[in-house]
Amino acid sequence: MKQLFDDLSVKVSKMTTEAYSTSFSLGIYFLNNRLRNAIYSVYGFVRVADEIVDSFEGFSRQHLLAKFKEETFESIESRISVNPILNSFQHAVHQYHIDPELIRTFLKSMEMDLEKVNYTNEKYQQYILGSAEVVGLMCLYIFTEGDEKMYDELRPFAMKLGAAFQKVNFLRDMKQDYQILGRSYFPGVNMNDFSMSAKKQIEEEIEKDFKIALIGIKKLPRSSKGGVYLAYMYYRSLFNKIKKLPAHKILNERVRINNGRKFGLILNSLVINKMNQV
């Protein structure tokens, strides 16, 4: 019975989400139940691609990513894959009519991580678009459930939210990205002399993204607003913690939100959402 395998596929995507991201797992939990499986499927797909380029040292990551890309579009075309992650993802793509061009753009950014890229402003914007903004748009297809007018209205806000999340990740993971993976995403920034002025300039850019994104969150349907707002609050809290740190500490430690603070964010988000103040 194929349904048994389809159910297993979603479970694998859910387990992948829970293993790699407590923040997104919490956000998904506060979505309407009918939306959760598709979001797990999108996250599982994105996470596996990211792991290929980030964590599979000692293997041919170029080959693995190329094969993953080929199998992705093959699964979408044939509506099935023996890879549970891809099987659940293709189902979400078809169920919510996710534009395949978003998937191509995402995978192109993953390909950029395979090389030592000198990130000019143009390449930086290209990477943000593919690695984050289009992921926000994939999720927006699910949140708007076929309402094209709503999707078009919320599209720029979803892109800004994805960009804000990614830029916060860049700051949080700067030690790993630069010292271990040899990556520096921010154009014009000297990582050997990362200054407070450079850090502040990046933070101002993120603040603008968050401000615009919140406008869109307030316009989301009730079925998704609470979960997205919780993810927003988590990243805002992480960002606020990063802002308080001197620049040199960003290069030497990974900033985290402890479990007590996460629980507080959940309660706060629940109360605000219940009072319809988002």
Which pLDDT tens digit goes with each residue over 120-154? 899 999 999 999 999 999 999 999 999 999 999 99
From residue 42, give the alpha-carbon distance in Å to each of 10, 88, 141, 183. Answer: 10, 8, 11, 25
Amino acid 269: pLDDT: 54
Nearest partner of 163 among 190, 202, 200, judged by Cα? 202
Query: Cβ(40)–Cβ(8) under 8 Å?
Result: no
Reported as a pLDDT band with limits 50, 70 and 90, residue 276 is low
**Cα 119 to Cα 125: distance, rounded to the nearest angstrom:** 9
Percentage of the chain modeled with pLDDT above 70: 90
Where is pLDDT greater, at 257 or 248? 248
Helix (H) or strand (E) holding 76: helix 61-78
What letter represents residue 44's amino acid? G
Q: Is the pLDDT of residue 257 over 70?
A: no
**Ramachandran angles phi, psi of 257, nearest 5°:** -105, 120
Position 81 pLDDT exceeds 80: yes
Say which DSSP state 219 is in.
Answer: T
Res 14 pLDDT > 60 = yes
More confident residue, 204 or 271: 204
Mean pLDDT of the chain: 89
Which two tokens mark 249? 């500490």
Instruction: Give the span between the Cα atoms of 198 and 191, in whole angstroms.
Output: 10
Judged by average pLDDT, the poorest of 68-77, 78-87, 255-264 is 255-264
**Has residue 275 got a pLDDT over 50?**
no
For the chain, give every domain's residue range. 2-274
Helix (H) or strand (E) holding 191: none
For 160-186, how does the pLDDT look when each residue is reduced to its tens digit (9 = 90+)? 999 999 999 988 888 777 666 767 788
Asked whether 48 and 89 are in contact (CB, 8 A), the reply is no
| 117/184 Cα distance (integer angstroms) | 8
Residues written for the chain: 278
Give the Cβ contact number of residue 98 at 10 Å: 23
CA distance linking residue 120 with residue 97, whole number of Å: 33
d(CA 178, CA 23) in angstroms, rounded, equals 24
Using an 8 Å Cβ cutoff, are 235 and 165 in contact?
A: yes
**Amino acid letter, 147:** D
Average pLDDT score over residue span 86-94: 98
Nearest to 65 by CA among 107, 117, 93, 101: 107
Can you name the CATH fold of 2-274?
Farnesyl Diphosphate Synthase (1.10.600)
Task: Work out the widest C-alpha separation in the chain, in whole angstroms.
Answer: 59
pLDDT of residue 258: 59
pLDDT confidence of residue 52: 97
Task: Give the model's pLDDT for residue 190.
Answer: 77
